[in-house]
């Protein structure tokens, strides 16, 4: 570790809150799938800022859109209209098949917005008794860090010391259709779920699970909310991960890659019925739907499709997963994933995934450990076959050693 790196890490540790435990690398530049540290060392980014930079670091077309808009108009608040918002609505609705759009800033804001809207829908449309609405969520979920969200988390680190929490949530095991069926009551207004549980270790539900969920939601008048903040916008090889399941959600949440990593942008995508319950003054955000955010999001969506990043995600994900599966190592318990959302789960006897991520860093790969024994792998969707093959060589060296 050079003196510059050590000094910056020491300052960060001394002055910053200790709510993260990052790898000891200090990054200063990024382009495409690569990032460079302050000492000039290059790394292949296999996290993509938790899928916020699906389009690659500093994509030139998104950058150009950001600079152009920043020179004209950045913020008006929603007290006035701007010339970017309607175009953003049209383009994201056409891409995703949505009927209504509510733009916000962060993924957590999108989740909180959906919770508010679906409760109001439950009272005004479904006829649930006032303040009795229930939302079913899954064990080991991750939907953000706000007070409302951590209240229905099952992660002790997310919850401990932050109560009391708001009521109105029921938990079921992820992927268990019988448990979901048993949890439904007359007060159930929604089922909030990730298509793939990312933070929990890229957990994929059994075949047919979501078809069953969709059927139950329809028959019981329950709003199906899919949190696609990490899985959406090409990460799994489809524009939305729900396409793998052959279903359509009633409400879909997107964020992260919606801006290509340039700016916080999220959106609640909905049928008309759910978002239609919101009236002026009942929900909003000073920055939500601002012209700079809309211009950036429009460019971020455009390059995803124009440059076939979604197709590349499917093909390179298949190549990456196949290569990982062929690594012969007695510490690898399972390789799983869809598209470029991948995970290698290690045997607990291996001593945890963190040390393997540190070893990968020394070989020019930045990946993230999660839930103790799992390495998450999610490179930008612009990765090439040669770059996948090089990454596989590094993973094989570390996992076999």
Which residues are known catalytic residues?
Answer: 142, 227, 256
Neighbours of 297 (CB within 10 A): 29
* Strand 368-370, strand 374-377: pairing: antiparallel
Length of the chain in terms of residues written: 401
Sequence-distant (6+) residues with CB within 8 A of 126 are: 189, 221
Alpha carbon separation from 194 to 89, 241, 279 (Å, rounded): 24, 9, 28
Apex 332 CA angle, 328 and 334, nearest 5: 110
DSSP β-bridge partners for residue 34: 31, 44
Among the listed residues 300, 382, 301, 381, the one whose alpha carbon sits nearest the alpha carbon of residue 66: 300
DSSP β-bridge partners for residue 342: 337, 377
Among the listed residues 379, 316, 399, 342, the one whose alpha carbon sits nearest the alpha carbon of residue 44: 379
**Contact (Cβ atoms closer than 8 angstroms) between residue 228 and residue 333:** no
Alpha carbon 334 to chain centroid, angstroms? 22
| Residue 164, preceding peptide bond in cis (omega within 30° of 0) | yes
Secondary structure (DSSP) of 88-121:
HHHHHHHHHT-SEEEEESSHHHHHHHHHHHHHHH
Distance between CA atoms of residues 116 and 93, nearest Å: 21
């Amino acid at each position: 570790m050079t003196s510059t790196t050590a000094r910056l890490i020491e300052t960060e540790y001394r002055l910053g809150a200790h709510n993260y435990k990052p790898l000891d690398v200090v990054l200063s530049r990024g382009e495409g799938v690569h990032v460079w540290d302050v000492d000039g060392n290059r790394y292949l980014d296999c996290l993509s800022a938790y899928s916020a930079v699906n389009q690659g670091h500093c994509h030139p077309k998104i950058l150009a859109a950001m600079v152009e808009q920043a020179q004209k108009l950045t913020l008006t608040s929603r007290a006035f209209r701007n010339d970017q918002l309607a175009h953003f609505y049209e383009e994201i609705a056409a891409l995703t098949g949505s009927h209504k759009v509510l733009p916000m800033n962060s993924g957590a804001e999108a989740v909180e917005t959906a919770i508010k809207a679906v409760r109001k829908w439950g009272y005004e449309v479904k006829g649930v008794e006032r303040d009795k609405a229930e939302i079913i969520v899954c064990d080991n979920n991750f939907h953000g860090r706000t007070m409302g969200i951590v209240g229905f988390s099952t992660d002790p680190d997310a919850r401990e010391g932050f109560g009391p929490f708001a009521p109105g949530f029921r938990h079921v095991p992820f992927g268990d259709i019988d448990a979901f069926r048993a949890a439904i009551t007359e007060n159930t207004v929604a089922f909030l779920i990730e298509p793939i549980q990312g933070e929990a270790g890229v957990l994929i539900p059994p075949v047919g699970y979501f078809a069953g969920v969709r059927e139950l939601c329809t028959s019981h008048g329950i709003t199906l909310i899919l949190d696609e903040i990490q899985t959406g916008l090409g990460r799994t090889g489809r524009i939305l991960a729900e396409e793998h399941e052959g279903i359509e959600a009633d409400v879909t949440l997107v964020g992260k890659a919606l801006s290509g990593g340039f700016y916080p942008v999220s959106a609640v995508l909905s049928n008309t019925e759910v978002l239609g319950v919101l009236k002026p003054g009942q929900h909003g955000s000073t920055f939500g739907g601002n012209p700079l955010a809309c211009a950036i999001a429009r460019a971020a969506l455009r390059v995803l499709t124009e440059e076939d990043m979604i197709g590349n995600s499917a093909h390179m994900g298949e190549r990456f997963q196949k290569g990982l599966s062929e690594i012969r190592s007695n510490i690898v318990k399972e390789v799983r994933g869809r598209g470029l959302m991948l995970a290698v789960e290690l045997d607990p006897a291996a001593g945890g995934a963190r040390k393997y991520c540190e070893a990968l860093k020394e070989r020019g790969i930045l990946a993230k450990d999660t839930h103790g024994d799992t390495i998450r792998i999610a490179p930008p969707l612009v990765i090439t076959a040669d770059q996948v093959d090089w990454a596989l060589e590094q993973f094989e060296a570390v996992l076999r050693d």
